[in-house]
Structures are given as C-alpha cells and as structure tokens.
Amino acid sequence: MSKKLTKVEESIREESDKINTVKKIILSRSLAVEKPTPEPDELSTENWKEKRFESPNNIIRLGTVFSGIGAIEHAFQRLKLKHKIVFAGDIDPNCKKSYFANYDISEEDWFSDVREFDATKYRGKVDFIVGGAPCQAFSMVGKRLGFEDARGTLFYEFARVIKDTEPKVFLFENVKGLLNHDNGRTWCVIHDIFEELGYDVHYRVLNSKDYGIPQNRERLFCLGFKNKTEFKFPAPIELEYRMYDFLEDYVDTKYFLREKGIKFVTSHKNKEKCYTQVNGDIALCQKRNQQFNWHGDFVYHPVAADEPFEVGFDEFIFNVKDVEEKYYLSEKVAKYVLAGGTKSFHTSKKTDLDVARPLLQTMHKMHRAGVDNYVTYKGRIRKLTPRECLRLMGFKDSFKIVVSDTSYVSGSGK
C-alpha cells in the first residue's frame, strides 16, 4: 500500500506539462551558467527618513503576485501614498478573506492560481509589481530542492507576469538562501532572466531590524527598473524599539503554555539553536502560524504576589532566562521531593525560603525539600498573539483580523 503524501510533499512533487517544461528550461540554463554571481548593490549614505516623495499626488497603479495578506499594500497605506490595486492573488483562501477585508479590490481582479492567471490584459495598466515566489524551495530550513521543487518553478510565473504587463518597476522578494543555492547558479539564472526582460536590475539582502522593526528577518530584495536608474538601497537606521514595545497589554489565557510546552521552549538545545527565544529584544524570523508552533518567540510573565493563580496550573516554573529544562522537577520526582515524609520520618515542605538551607555537594540528587532548596518561581510563558505578530511584520492595528487563529498567516504569507 503506497504511503499517502503530505500537503508539503504534494506541493514539492506536483507535476504538469507546464511545470515539467519550466523545469527543463531552467535546468538547461543552470547548467550553462559560467559567469560569476553578480555583485549586490551598494547602500546609500543618505538618511532616507528625511527624504520626501517628489510626486506625492501621483496615483501608483499596483499589482501583486503571491500577495498573502498584503504587506506592500499596507506599506502604501502607512506611507499615505496614493495608489490603486490593479490586481492581486494568492492560492490560500484565508489570505483572500483577509485581503478583501482590508483592501479595495474587485473580484475580477483577484486570481487564486498564478499559473492560470492571464496577465496580458493588464499590459500598460500597472506601474509597480511586487511579489515573492514561495521560498521553501530555497530556504536553509527546507529541503533546498530549488527548481526541482515544483514551488521553485513559480518564480518563472512571476517573470511571466512581468513580461506580460511591462511595469515601470518590479520588486522581487525572497529568502537570502536563494543567492547561494546551487553554488549561485540559481540566482544567476533569475538575474539573467530579469535582465533579458529589459530591466535594470539591483539587489541586496536587507534585515528588518536595520529598518525600524525589531525582527531578525533577512530577505533578498531585487528591484527592476524599465529605464536605467541610479539607485542605492537605503542605509540602516538605529533601532528605537524592542520587541517588548510591540506586545499587547491583555492577552487571552489560550496563548499561555503548559508544562510540556514550557520545557520544550526553555530547553538548552532549542535556545542554543535559536529555535526559541523568551523575552528577546529582537524577534526571531517569523514563520507561518507562528503562534501555533513551539518554534519562535515567547513572552515570560512573572506573577505578582497577590495575583490569583489559575487552578491546576503548573507551579514549578523557573526564571526561564537562566534555567534549563533539566532543573525542573518532573511530576514523579516532585511528589517525592515535596512530600512531608513517610511513616515516622517527617520533613519540612517549605520552598521559596528567605534564607537558604546549607548548600550540599549532593544537591543534584534532589533530596527532600526539608534538606535542599527549591523555588516555585510562579510565572507563565505564552506565545505571541496574531496582533503582536502583525505588529512585528510592520502592520498597524488598523489591519483587520477576520480569520481564526488556526488559519492566521503572519506577514505577507511567506
């Protein structure tokens, strides 16, 4: 009996005549690459925050591909730039639901599958096209199958939309791992295709934390101009805020972790490998459905002395910045250590002493509480909420959340 494929495996192995044709074209081009990888562009030395738009009254006609929940569209709103959304699309129905709740677009200008999107009708009707083909095929945390992964061939669809619409400017965004994939050949192919379409191409890897958002998110940004353009990417600015500044004041208890989740999040292995972080100043790179997995950022809330504690909540929670999971008392050991005694032997069960008992060389053996020192540092660890994730992706609170938490997609959907 054949094993049923997961959704990820299906998306990787997806086949069609069109996908197979694209794979062959790109493979032949990759094998033919001989020149070195083009150098990234320089950074500007000017303070871009002091610059003003030359033509603020002009209406920018915007088209987006792999639109997610509309990161660039929201940026236009934040900048108060006059614009009109000409077309947008995403294969995720929840993205569509969020998009239509937040932006002005007609049903006929939305597409679900970019491979079936006829962009020729928009030729000459769009100024700026933005998109980032799915990055899993090139990401360092994925299988890195590149163009062998069906999702990797979606870049070709982005290039096709550029060719069919001929915008004045395009922005292609992806993971920085795209640059070194297949020893740089993959990026050479993409860069060459953009140039063959007649564009002046500029690219560089930028990090969100260098541009005002406390999230460590490195992404490749590639700009193409229809006309030769003197362009430099903006210089980094000093980070004025920390992740804690983006947190909500009141959070539903459903976001708090129980003992199993806490031990995973605070484990030495996961913190050392930067899978998890608690109360960090700069957020780790966000992932889809960040708040519903155990990889990412978490917040530690101490509990005030007079605060009523949730019934049945695990009290054996240490200061997570300093303590590894091996120092927690398991349920089995806790019953022994915190027991008052057996038969004729009795001992104190007091913990959290003002004055510590004598420290023993053998305290790692976990004696009874009356012999060693134990603390019940009451506090709770929670995941980030959808609103906090949005804030850390540059979305203001004016962005409407209209889908359930379990279907929520952070940022632009990538």
User: Is 135 among the catalytic positions?
Assistant: yes
CA distance 53 to 127: 16
Question: Judging by DSSP bridges, how do beta strands 128-131 and 60-65 pair with one another?
Answer: parallel
User: Do 153 and 23 touch, CB atoms closer than 8 A?
Assistant: yes
Q: Among candidates 354, 350, 380, 29, which has minimal Cα distance to 186?
A: 29
Choice among 135, 188, 222, 285 that is catalytic: 135
Encode 183-229 in three state secondary structure: HHHHHHHHHHHHHHCCCEEEEEEEEHHHCCCCECCEEEEEEEECCCC
Question: Judging by DSSP bridges, how do beta strands 218-225 and 200-207 pair with one another?
Answer: antiparallel
Residue 291 burial class via C-beta count within 10 angstroms: exposed 0-12, middle 13-18, buried 19 and up: buried
In the chain, the amino acid numbered 265 is V
Question: Judging by DSSP bridges, how do beta strands 218-225 and 276-278 pair with one another?
Answer: unpaired
C-alpha dist (Å) from residue 367 to 130, 199, 324, 337? 62, 72, 19, 6
User: Do 389 and 410 touch, CB atoms closer than 8 A?
Assistant: yes
Q: Among candidates 267, 258, 285, 282, which has minimal Cα distance to 383?
A: 258
Q: Among candidates 149, 120, 178, which has minimal Cα distance to 19?
A: 149
Catalytic residue ranges: 135
